[in-house]
Structure 1
Amino acid sequence: MTEAPAPLLPIATGARVRVVIATLLRRHRGRAVATAALFLVASALGVVLPACLGRIVDAVSNDAGIAVVAGWVVAAGAGAVGAALAMLWAARVLAGLVQDVLADLREDVFASAMRLPVSTVDDGETADLLSRVTGDVDAVAEAGGNVVPVLLSAGFAIGVSVLALTALDPRLALAGIASVPFYLLGTRAFLRRSRVVFREVRVREAARSQAVLEAVEGIETLTALGEQDHALERVSTRAEDSIRMQVEGVRVRNRLFRWINAGELVGLGAILATGFLLHAGDAVTVGMVTTAALLFHRLFDPVGQLIFGLDDIQRAAIGLARLVGVIDLAPATPREAPVGVGDREPVVRPRVGIELRDVGYRYPTTGRGISDVTLSIAPGTTTALVGSSGSGKSTLARVIAGHHPPTSGVVDVEPETTVPYYLSQELHRFRGTIADNLRLVAPAATHDQMVAALIAVGAEWAVDSLTSDDAGARIDEGRIQQLAIARALLADPAVVILDEATADVGLHHRDAVEAAIRVLRRDRTTVLIAHRLEPVSTAEQIIVFAEGRAAQRGTHRDLLATDGLYRRFWLAQTEGPQLHRSPNEHLPPNELLPPNEQRGTP
């Protein structure tokens, strides 16, 4: 059975998208008007060639002489050259306009994405926002750079050609209308079906990406639980759903091709037949019929480009709607920055305890979350939350951090003015020097304070390059996270929440980052989330989550002595082949200790 994708972030209406596009174009009103004028001139010059060819046919039919024919040939050449030059100029101006508009759109989208509350992002699937700021931005950029110039040129060419055909002889223009029903019926069927198909393509791509992310990020836990096959099946199912929807999109386009080809055949045949009858009655010349046929034939490419381009326009429009949804969802103003040690008088850090009583939280759209969590965290101690991806541990951490207000129960942090410091697995090295990066949490931090924080987290490598502009080029993922932990020390919080803080630092720097985290945890109330259990094993309290509830709790020793999820996690990570050992086959006492506490053997 196909798994339905979770509800995602909102999508803007077509009217709202048009308002945003109009607002972006108004910022460049002069170039927008100049672009339209240049395309109009290029299209008008494009009519010169078929008109001159018709005149040439009449001149030859009437034996007008070589001079007359040569004059029309020169005029045809001049018109073609003029049209090409005007089109190149128009395309160049349009390219600059499109890139500037896209740049404005990107800035608005990324600025809005950075202002989104954590609870809003987590309410949908993580990959939805990722697919919007990557795939949708790329789709809109591709349409803006490649499709918009073609469609704008096609639109002007169609309008000018129809006017020229009508001016030549309205009866010939009416004959060409025979093609219109085919275009309208084909386009209507295409738009009605493609609007649904291409929207579903984006949604299913986001769902597939989310399944891949969850499988990759939780591989250790999934392996420990023997759930890797289920995760791979989920990725496969969502990938197949995405492929099926893309195949359906190809079928929709192929049906449109048949309608367009039929319209071209009927329209051109109608013009030639009408021209034959009118010429038989001496109402039009052969040259006029020739010009009419060439003008109608000139519509083939623009009409095809316009209708075929609806494919890309549909995808770009859906992408724009998703991007505008991000813009509209973001709060109008950014949140206030935290206050660090350099911004206040020295105070004694309070000892903060945390009490949770029957706490529950559910994301409004997905229904995922936590239920009936009761927990007591003593001041200055570390409580670790472990479990598979989606089990609720990160949700609980964000409830404690204040990112999500609980939907039931009570979260009691004493004193109430305490603001937990949240450090995630996301790696961010901000623009500027290392000192600029550290002062994000404490703008008035002194040089000595920054040096002390760096040394405390083992980042002596950064001391001599605190104010160097090119130091960032040598900073890799592990060192970026060391700087993040140094920032946390400068903020000097009473409560720190570490959500998979070592997940993306790589094996080369993992030990250094975990040592820095141990320094940060010292004498602070800490909530630690990790898939790797070695750092977890030193916590005073460990909570094992499953399906949004606390399934086990206790110390490392207590949990290893009991058959359950934690014991299976630990064995999978430290004693891989012994994963299925019977719980009655007790481990030697030495194996109950984390590796850094085990006694040496003779």
Structure 2
Amino acid sequence: MASGREATRWVSAHCREVPGLTAATVLTTVAGAALQVFPVLLLGRVVDGVVGGEPRSVLVTVGVLMVAAALLGAVGTAMSTYLIGRLGAELLARLRERAVRAVLGMPSARIEQVGRGDVLSRVGDDVAVLSKGIRTAVPTVFSAGVLVAIATIGMFGLDWRLGLAGAGALPAYALALRWYLPRSAPLYRKQRVAQADRAQALISGLDGIGTVRAYRLEEAVREKVTHESWRVRDFGIEVFRFFGRFVGRENRAEFIGLVLILLVGYALLEAGAASLGEVSAAPLMFHRLFTPLGAIMFTFDEAQKSGASLTRLVGVLGEPAEDRLVGDPSVASPEAGPYGVTVEGLTFRYPDTEEPVLRDVDLTIPAGGSLALVGATGAGKSTLAALIAGIGTPQAGSVRIGPHDLAGLDEAAARALVNILTQETYVFSGPLAEDLRLAAPEATEAELRDALRTVGADGWVDALPEGLNTVVGEGGERLDVTKVAHVALARLVLRAAPVVVLDESTAEAGSEGAAELERAVLAACAGRTTLFVAHRLTQAMAADRIAVLDAGRVVEQGTHGELVALGGRYARLWRAWREGS
């Protein structure tokens, strides 16, 4: 979360990037405000003209000037609103692009830590809030603020004593703002965080709907979403309550200023120190402030929301990108062959938690060999798989891929050594060939077909209307779960990292598709060091060795036959699996 000062600096820097548009916006806003105030000053001239018995032609001329000023003021205000919106739209487009780029440049562990709900709410909900604010609140607040300044100057232009009387309301305004701003800004930020938590609860529940139904967790998920929704509602009520109290303080300031102007004006008129026109124009000028001040107040809620969203988006830009020690993706030399994996004394805990997810884990996967991780839900399998893939940094211990310690590599270098494939596989909208080339941008069509043939996907790809050029994903050919997994495995073949981590990558397929995909997995990983997080124990059987995790510790290791003969935890899992099958 950026501070207000940091967000303001970012906006100022953006405005300097488009000096012509910024200057035009400021000039039209000031001109529009000045032209709106001018008729009030002329009204005082009309009063003095009537009292002084000036000719009708003079009054007609002043009246024409008033009408012309009003019309030109309306044009200036309209131009100002348009230019503010255009400037804001450019700012928002750049901010969103840079925020998305910043997210893509962050370490994967950082995204996992904050949760996708928070990320999506920033580049989605916060952008929407800011977009609405740029269209409504920002033009209103900016234009009204300039109008308030011009009107205040106009009051001092009438008579400095009348100007001071009107300025007597400023301390009351300042006290109202001083009371409101420190309390409301954190409240708006908390409201945005609560909305992000609600989004995360919804996303996690929908993404894992199969698991939710399998374990009959519908009520628990519903309760969590309901709880987060009530938090959002409570913050909304609290924000509205604060805003209502703020409006009351603003009305009090208006009352103080108007009373002071009327009293001082009466005294000046009685003493002959001011004309009737000046004394008449002053309260009208001050009353002219009511409309812009009211507009500021009634859009202040939207402006505060926009400000909170701006600080969240600018805060993303301040997140450090991946910049650890080594940025060389050539660490995986093709001549070196497969690398082994060595895990020593690995201990890991998530932020803001006391209990480690993994404790003193020691594992070895020989170069070119395979290891299957099995264990109950919550045992730490996915966390261990992510750490071996270079996602996250353990608090103790190390992960070595061949001669390289992952703690000394950036994410690009880690990806050159290790590829990870999870249940969350995606097919992006566009030609299938381009989807495959995400893993190898320079791959030829022959190489794409070889990868598809390796994983057994060439048959259904050839049957597509345009083969590799068929548009898939949104707006194109929809691929079922098995075909999506085939695409992901083909990418794995094209990427050709020496170590592969598969975190239940075929768990979503049906039983018939799972058997087909298990064969595809073995073909894709042939000759490479492989770690399986086994969703099906038939996968574990196919691995060279099996490690059983329980509460973050490795409690058993061995081959399938050895562990069944041992009669321990794996043997019990195997019997339950076999009987269930």
Task: Give TM-score scaled by structure 1 length.
Answer: 0.79
Partner of 1:26, secondary structure, is helix
Alpha-carbon contact 1:426-1:504 (below 8 Å) kept: no
Pair 1:287–1:387, CA change in 2 (3 A):
farther
Alpha-carbon contact 1:340-1:443 (below 8 Å) kept: no
Percent of residue pairs bearing the same amino acid type: 30
Following the alignment from structure 2 to structure 1, what is the Cα–Cα distance between the partners of residues 53 and 235?
61
Following the alignment from structure 1 to structure 2, what is the Cα–Cα distance between the partners of residues 84 and 550?
75
Q: Does 1:356 align with 2:343?
A: yes
Q: Which residue type is aligned with residue 494 of structure 2?
A: L
Match of 2:489 among 485, 501, 507: 485
Match of 1:76 among 42, 66, 71: 66
Following the alignment from structure 2 to structure 1, what is the Cα–Cα distance between the partners of residues 492 and 233?
45
Question: Paired residue for 1:454?
Answer: 452
Query: How far off is 1:128 after superposition?
Result: 2.6
Pair 1:291–1:556, CA change in 2 (3 A):
farther
Alpha-carbon contact 2:471-2:477 (below 8 Å) kept: no
Alpha-carbon contact 1:482-1:516 (below 8 Å) kept: yes
Count of matched residue pairs: 560
Which deviates further from its counterpart, 331-340 or 414-423?
A: 331-340
Which deviates further from its counterpart, 140-149 or 535-544?
A: 535-544
Structure 1's unaligned 5+ residue stretches are 1-10, 571-585, 596-602
Q: Does 1:316 align with 2:306?
A: yes
Query: How far off is 1:310 after superposition?
Result: 4.1
When the two chains are superposed, the root-mean-square deviation of aligned CA atoms in Å is 4.1
State how 1:64-103 maps to structure 2 within 5 Å: 64=54, 66-103=56-93
State how 1:225-236 maps to structure 2 within 5 Å: 229-236=219-226
Offset from partner CA, 1:517-561 (integer Å, 9 cap, x none): 45434554433347x6487565546666565445787889979x9
Q: Does 1:528 align with 2:526?
A: no
Question: Paired residue for 1:474?
Answer: 476
Q: Does 1:372 align with 2:360?
A: yes
Which deviates further from its counterpart, 264-273 or 211-220?
A: 211-220
Which deviates further from its counterpart, 177-186 or 103-112?
A: 177-186
Following the alignment from structure 2 to structure 1, what is the Cα–Cα distance between the partners of residues 100 and 479?
22
State how 1:23-102 maps to structure 2 within 5 Å: 23-61=13-51, 64=54, 66-102=56-92
Which deviates further from its counterpart, 55-64 or 391-400?
A: 55-64
Partner of 1:47, secondary structure, is helix
Q: Does 1:592 align with 2:581?
A: no
Question: Paired residue for 2:413?
Answer: none
Offset from partner CA, 1:432-468 (integer Å, 9 cap, x none): 6443443343344332121122234425454574674
Partner of 2:136, secondary structure, is helix
Pair 1:53–1:168, CA change in 2 (3 A):
same
Q: Does 1:403 align with 2:391?
A: yes
Which deviates further from its counterpart, 83-92 or 263-272?
A: 263-272
Partner of 2:417, secondary structure, is coil
Following the alignment from structure 2 to structure 1, what is the Cα–Cα distance between the partners of residues 6 and 262?
45
Question: Paired residue for 1:252?
Answer: 242
Query: How far off is 1:488 after superposition?
Result: 0.9
Partner of 1:474, secondary structure, is coil
Query: How far off is 1:230 after superposition?
Result: 4.8
Following the alignment from structure 1 to structure 2, what is the Cα–Cα distance between the partners of residues 57 and 536?
94
Structure 2's unaligned 5+ residue stretches are 406-415
Alpha-carbon contact 1:340-1:441 (below 8 Å) kept: no
Offset from partner CA, 1:390-448 (integer Å, 9 cap, x none): 65332211111122343323434447598121123444556864434433433443321
Following the alignment from structure 1 to structure 2, what is the Cα–Cα distance between the partners of residues 340 and 488?
18
Offset from partner CA, 1:176-224 (integer Å, 9 cap, x none): 2232232111111111211221222223333333344444444555666
Following the alignment from structure 1 to structure 2, what is the Cα–Cα distance between the partners of residues 279 and 415?
92
Partner of 1:297, secondary structure, is helix
Query: How far off is 1:39 after superposition?
Result: 0.8
Task: Give TM-score scaled by structure 2 length.
Answer: 0.82
Query: How far off is 1:339 after superposition?
Result: 7.2
Offset from partner CA, 1:61-95 (integer Å, 9 cap, x none): 55546544433332221111101111222222222
Pair 1:235–1:42, CA change in 2 (3 A):
same
Following the alignment from structure 1 to structure 2, what is the Cα–Cα distance between the partners of residues 73 and 88?
23
Question: Paired residue for 2:148?
Answer: 158
Query: How far off is 1:14 after superposition?
Result: 3.4
Alpha-carbon contact 1:386-1:393 (below 8 Å) kept: yes
